[in-house]
Amino acid sequence: MSQNPFFEAWTTPFGMPPFDRIETGHYMPAFERAIASHRAEIEALRDNPHAPDFANTIEAFERAGADLLRVNLVFRNLAGTESDEALRQVERDISPVLARHRSAIFLDAKLLARIEAVMNGPQWSGLDAERKRLTGRLHKGFVRAGARLSDVERARLTEITAQLASLGTQFAQNVLKDESDYVLWLCHDDDLAGLPDDFRIAAGALAQTRGKPGQHAISLSRGTVESFLTHSTRPDLRETLLNAFLARGENGGESDNSATIAQTIALRDERAQLLGYASYAHYKLDDTMAETPEAVRGLLDRVWAPARTSAARERGRLAEIALLEGQNGAIRKADWRHYAEKLRRADYAIDDAQLRPYFPLSRMIEAAFFVANKLFGLTFEERRDLKLYAKDVRAFEVKDREGQHVALFLGDYFARPSKRSGAWMSAFRVQQKLEGNIRPIIVNVLNIAKPAGDEEALLSIDEARTLFHEFGHALHGMLSNVTFPSLAGTAVSTDFVELPSQLYEHWLLQPEVLRLFARHVETGEPVPEELIARLKAARGFNQGFATVEYCASAFVDLDMHLSADKALAEPLAFERDVLARIGMPEEISMRHRSPHFTHVFSGEGYASGYYSYLWSEVLDADAFSAFEETGDIFDAATAQRLHDFIYAAGNLRDPKEAYLAFRGKLPGPDALLEKRGLA
């Protein structure tokens, strides 16, 4: 094994991780050394004989653990994108160790006492807003972790946290195993019926990587599955693929997540009870914009009724089309997207296969960069000289209007067996000014089917929207301009973090953007103006379906954590009971079923918080109206406020205060309902 690169300063361009030198065997020694170093730093802080003040307590806490953060960011990112069994074993081994290490810190009553001494001391009134915000957030973190509890209770919380970390890791690895093991082979010409040429090419490329050149293979990547369900004219194959997709994590054997869900719910509920909360949902939502389960339920109920009504109308229209084609039975789950695409063609003359050539991946990346330039003055220069962690990853240096370095942005766009499904933003380094002007290294990860050879990947509207969504998150990380890393970038409440990403989606379908970047991959011709008009007219199309599949997952997430005693016995039966209670249409499936609901069960980021996308959508619908009201979707003054109070501000303010500073008022759900065509 080579010299461990985590034991040295990195002299790579932009301080990037030296990916070409990092080996799996380096991680555990690096973690062990970094944990020991962090523990020593915390103990020195805790036992400092001098009276607590901001510098020797709060700032010292922020400075501690830099080596551990560096190792963990690299490891977590590569465990999600370049996983193999050796890396998964490291993940299983280190997750409970890290959880116990963090618990030992945040359950330390002496550390909490020092923080409270700062808050009650003579220095407090003279601290600026950012330092007070950091201290307050740190204090809340200790209290919510259980630092005020008895020794026995704190010991139990430590064990709960470690067990939850192991369960979350196992849950995610089980889902990845089911996804990476499955292939739907298309061995005959009839199996390809209805599939667009670019999809066939990508399926052929995947078959070749799976050792069967000349055949075609379909994976369980969401984008691939949804495209197949849209285009395939083989109802039997559509149903086979959808059933496999919905059954991830529920196939029996070692990768089945049923027991993992039950154990996770039980442990989360026990922790909440120890901390004095009525349920885990009450505990989790106490530190969000929503604040209470009742507020979340109120929003979901407000949207659910019109969504179901709209979905019922949509179902009726789909049944009419199916009947014309000789299908006399009910619309099935595997039929919906297929007939919805035909209905969209009939109502709006929009065809996904016709649209895809106008949305090549390279141009959509350029479009996302263009909007960032118009709003925030950013420029993006591709760096082909950097050594990255996978051959398809692209790197861009980001600069501001004055040509100053802002960030390094990595785009990891294509699906591969080593990568978990979905799309996300992450960081290899977060922004801060505590140790100098440290600029971030941000990555977007997508799972677009990779075409063969030098063919251009062609995106569906949904895939292009996902690209813009994740780039909105990336901007939130790249534009961050705070002093302390704990407040930087996306370190905000779950139901606020989706605002920058969902808001950014709005610019994708604006005529000013489409005319420049939605150009035919072969002819270079811009998307026709009348097609732009049809796209805008179709913005509310099929939104009953989309809202129902999303809200169903949010209801199940909330109810499982509100009624843990009922969910424990048989989580999947509880899931069915919740769907029956809300009147889930039989022909629509949940967007994320519990056995593969990684948002909720592979970690705690979105546990009791999947509603956050809808909550943030209330904000983003109103926020884009701020631009529309000026008559200029790139209005400079509005963009400056958006930059200062949302994208660059991290967690400097309470989310409500941040939104008020940008917009001047808090919105209700009416703008969301109108945007989705549910008003």
Contact 355, 549 (CB under 8 A): no
Supply 170's token pair. 């196992």
Interhelix angle for 543-562 vs 293-324, to 10°? 140
Place of tokens 């379906």: 545
Place of tokens 């501001």: 400
How far apart (Å, rounded) are the C-alpha atoms in residues 579 and 558?
A: 12
> Helices (DSSP H) in 64-150: which residue ranges?
66-81, 85-106, 109-120, 129-145
- In single-letter form, the type of residue at position 555 comes to F
DSSP H or E stretch at residue 380: strand 379-382
| Among the listed residues 137, 301, 291, the one whose alpha carbon sits nearest the alpha carbon of residue 608 | 291
Contact 413, 449 (CB under 8 A): no
Contact 382, 362 (CB under 8 A): no
Interhelix angle for 151-181 vs 258-274, to 10°? 160
Place of tokens 């490891």: 75
DSSP assignment string, 427-444: EEE--BSBTB-BPPEEEE
| Cβ neighbours of residue 454 closer than 8 Å, sequence gap 6 or more | none
| Among the listed residues 298, 313, 368, 225, the one whose alpha carbon sits nearest the alpha carbon of residue 545 | 313
**What is the three-class DSSP state of 46?**
helix
How far apart (Å, rounded) are the C-alpha atoms in residues 102 and 170?
A: 19
How far apart (Å, rounded) are the C-alpha atoms in residues 396 and 111?
A: 41
Contact 184, 190 (CB under 8 A): no
| Residue 65 falls in which region: left (phi positive, over 0), alpha (psi -120 to 50) or beta | left
Backbone angles phi, psi at 291, to 5 degrees: 75, -40
- In single-letter form, the type of residue at position 413 comes to Y
Place of tokens 């551990």: 68
C-alpha gyration radius of the chain: 25
Backbone angles phi, psi at 273, to 5 degrees: -65, -40
> What angle (nearest 5°) sits at the alpha carbon of residue 537, between those of residues 354 and 591?
75
Annotation says 402 is catalytic? no
| Among the listed residues 485, 439, 503, the one whose alpha carbon sits nearest the alpha carbon of residue 658 | 503
**Would you give the distance in Å from CA 235 to the centre of its chain?**
31
How far apart (Å, rounded) are the C-alpha atoms in residues 230 and 218?
A: 14
How far apart (Å, rounded) are the C-alpha atoms in residues 542 and 341?
A: 9
Catalytic residue among 62, 463, 470, 575: 470
Place of tokens 């719910």: 265
How far apart (Å, rounded) are the C-alpha atoms in residues 353 and 459?
A: 10
Q: Which residues are catalytic?
A: 470
